Structure 1
C-alpha cells in the first residue's frame, strides 16, 4: 500500500465521504427549497409591483453566491491552515442560524441581508469537496467526488420539490425554521463523525504555499475558467424557466409544478451520471470527459430553444443533466492532481469562487437577455458558450490527454 493511503486521514476517507454526502445533501436541500416560493415571500414582505418582485427575487437569489464567491478562497486557505473539519463545522452552524433568521424577516432588505450572510458563513458543500478531494486516494478521486456530486445534485432536485410542497402545509416562515433545524442536525453530525487527522507539518507547509507552489499553472487556470463558464451557462437559464414554461403549458395552475419538474430534471440526470462519469474519468482521463460533456450539453441546448410542449423541455433538461453530471467532479480532480496537498484547499477555494462568480453573472445575464432580446436567445447563447468552451478545451488539453 502506498504511503498516501497509509496516512491516518486517508484511512477514514469512506466514513468522511458518507458524512459529507449526507451533510451536503441536507444543506443544499435547505438552500434550494426557497426557489419556488421566493417571489411569494417577497410579496409577503411588502413588495407588490410585479417588476420589482422579479427584480428583488433575482437579487436575493444571487446575493448568496456573491458573498460566497468573495470568501471561498479565504475559507480554503483557513482549511489548509487549521483543518477542513473546522470549516465544515463553521459552515453548518452559520447556515443553520442564517436560515432560521430568514423566517423572521419583516422587510425585503432583511431577506437580502440574510442571503448575503448565508453566502458569507456557508459553503458546506464546497468545504466537503475540499475535504474529500484532499484525503481520498488519488486513484479513487473521480469516483469519490462524483459520488459527492450526486448528493449535491440530489439536494438540488429534492429542494425545489420540498419548497413547493411545504409552504402550503406549514407556511413559508415555518419552512425556513424547519430548514434551519435540519442544517443544525448536519452540524451535530459533522462534529461527531468527521475524522481528520492533521499532520504536524501541514500548517507550516500551508503557510508557505500558494500559487507559487504550483509548477504548471495552466491546467489549473483553465479549470477555473471552465467552472465559471459552466455555472454561468447553467444558471443563465434558471431565471427564465418559469416564464418559459408558462408559454408551453395551457393551464396556469400547472405552471409552477411543471417549472419545478423542469428544474429537478437536470438534477436527476446529474445524480444518475455523476459517479459513473467520475469513474469513467478515472479510466479514460478527466480532461476527455470534460470536453465531451461540454460538447454534448451545447448540442442539447439548441432544441430547448424550440420546444413546443413542457415534456419536451423536461426530457432535454434531463439529458443535459446526464451530460453535465461528471463535469464539476472532473474539474475538481484535474485541479487536485495538479496542485500540492499543502495548498489544495486554497486553490480549490479559488475554484469554488470562480463557480460562484458564474452563478452570480449567469442569472443576471439570462434575465437581461431573456427580457430584452428573447428567451430563445438565452438558450442559443448558452449553447455557444459551452460549444466554444469544448473546442478550446480540446485544443488546450495537456499532452498526456491527447
Structure 2
C-alpha cells in the first residue's frame, strides 16, 4: 500500500474542476432530472447481486476443496490455486471485452456476462475434483470481466458529471453490501444443505438479475 500511495502521489495528474458548493445540486434533484432512473437503480442492484455471487463461495472454498480431496494432499496449496483461478480468467479477457464494450455497448456485454456466469455456476454443482472446480472458476473469471466494468460504464454514460462522485459512492456501498450478503448467503446455504448447493442458489441469483436487466432494458429499446 505504501508503494501504491507513493506512485499515486507523484505520478498521477488530475484535471479536475471543482464544483462550487452553491452550484452543487442535491441528489434528490439530480435523480428527478435523470432520464433513466430505473436503469441507475438497476445498476445498483446488479452490483449488489454480482458481488453477492462472487463472494458466495469465499467462506467455503477451502472447506469444499478439502471435501473434494477427501482430506488428503496439500489442501492449502490447491485451495489457493482454485481461489485464484477467476483472476487468471479475468486477466486474459478483460481488455478484449473492453474493446467489445466500446463497439456494441455496455448493456449487451453485461447481459453476456450474466448469462455466462449463470451457465458456469450450474456445472459447479456437479464437480467431483478440485481441478474441475478450478476450471469452472476460471471460466467464471472470464464472465466476471464483463460484469462490473459494464455496470460502471453504464453509470458513467447515464449520469451528469457533477454527480459522478456521489453516484459511484452509492454503487460502492451496494458492492460492499453484496460482499457481506454473499458471504452470509454462502455460509447459510452450505450449513443448511451442502457446499454445492451454494452454486445453484447463485445461478438463480444471476437469473433474477438477468430478468431485472431485461425489464429495464426493454423499454429503453422501445424508445429508440
- Alignment RMSD (CA, Å): 1.9
> Matches of 2:144 and 2:214 in 1, distance apart?
17
Shift of 1:209: 4.2
Give the match for residue 187 of structure 2: 367
Q: Is 1:288 the counterpart of 2:74 in the alignment?
A: no
**Which 10-residue stretch deviates more, 249-258 or 216-225?**
249-258
CA change 1:220–1:211 in 2 (3 A) is: farther
CA change 1:309–1:246 in 2 (3 A) is: same
Which of 181, 186, 208 does residue 25 from structure 2 map onto? 208
Give the match for residue 399 of structure 1: 221
For structure 2, list consecutive stretches of 5 or more residues without a partner in the other structure: none
> Matches of 1:333 and 1:211 in 2, distance apart?
22
Shift of 1:256: 1.1
Contact 1:205-1:342 within 8 A present in 2 as well: no
Alignment of 1:144-293 (within 5 A): 183-199=1-17, 202-204=19-21, 207-214=24-31, 215-216=34-35, 217-250=37-70, 252-293=72-113
Alignment of 1:26-45 (within 5 A): none
For structure 1, list consecutive stretches of 5 or more residues without a partner in the other structure: 1-182
Scaled by the length of structure 1, what TM-score is found?
0.52
Offset from partner CA, 1:189-238 (integer Å, 9 cap, x none): 211111113325x2347732424224121111000000000001110111
Give the match for residue 36 of structure 1: none
Q: Is 1:303 the counterpart of 2:120 in the alignment?
A: no
How many residues are matched?
219
Higher relative contact order (CA 8 A, sep 6+): 2
> Matches of 1:238 and 1:192 in 2, distance apart?
35
Q: 1:396 is paired with a residue of what secondary structure?
A: helix
Give the match for residue 84 of structure 1: none
> Matches of 2:193 and 2:132 in 1, distance apart?
23
Offset from partner CA, 1:263-296 (integer Å, 9 cap, x none): 1101111111222112211111111111111111
> Matches of 1:378 and 1:294 in 2, distance apart?
17
